[in-house]
Structure 1
Amino acid sequence: MLTCKQASELVSQSLDRSLTRSERWSLRFHLLICVACARFNRQLASIQAVMNKWLSDTERNEHLQLPLQAKLRMSQALESEIAASRHRP
C-alpha cells in the first residue's frame, strides 16, 4: 500500500507521464481510502484544467502573448541561473 507521500508523488507524476498499470492501481486504491490525497488529486486536476484553458486562450490571442524579446530574456536568465546553480556547493 502506498503512503500519502508516494501517492502525492504519483499524482504529480501522472501529469507528466503515463503511470504503469501497477502504479495506477495502487494510486486508485489509495485515493479510495484517503480523503486528503483524493482532494489533492482533484486540486491538481483543476489546476491543470485551468492552465490548459489559459494556454489555449493565450495561443488564440496575440495580445496575451509575450514579445519574442521578452521570451529570449527569460530563457537566457533561466539558463544563467541553471548554470550558476550547477557550480554552487
Structure 2
Amino acid sequence: MKITLLRRSCKESARLITARFDRQLPLADRIALRLHLFACKACPGFERQVRLMDQAMGRWRS
C-alpha cells in the first residue's frame, strides 16, 4: 500500500469522521483517518465536537 493512499486532507477527514458514526469504515480509511488525526491540530477538536453531538442526539432519542 502506498503512503499516498493513506494521506487525507482535513476536508476528507471530516467526511470520514462523520461517516464512521453511521457505518464502519474500510480498513484503509480507518488507518488514514487515525494517521491524519495524529498529525493534524484542528481535526481532533472537530472529532470531539461530532462525538459530543452524537452522544447528545442519542440521549435526546431515548
Q: If the TM-score is normalised by the length of the shorter chain, which range does it land in?
A: 0.7 to 0.9
Equivalent residue letter for 1:22: A
Shift of 1:30: 0.2
Q: Show the counterpart of 1:23.
A: 29
User: How do residues 1-89 of structure 1 correspond to structure 2 at under 5 angstroms?
Assistant: 1-56=7-62
Structure 2 distance, partners of 1:32, 1:39, is: 12
Runs of 4 or more off by more than 3 Å in structure 1?
Answer: none
Structure 2: which 5+ residue stretches go unaligned?
1-6
Structure possessing the higher relative contact order (Cα contacts under 8 Å, 6 or more residues apart): 2
Count how many residue pairs are aligned between Structure 1 and Structure 2. 56
Taking only the aligned residue pairs, the percentage that are identical comes to: 36
With normalisation by structure 1, the TM-score equals: 0.60
Give the RMSD, CA atoms, in angstroms.
0.7
Q: Is the radius of gyration larger for structure 1 or structure 2? A: 1
Shift of 1:17: 1.1
If each structure's helix is expressed as a fraction of its own residues, which one has the higher value? 1
Structure 1: which 5+ residue stretches go unaligned?
57-89
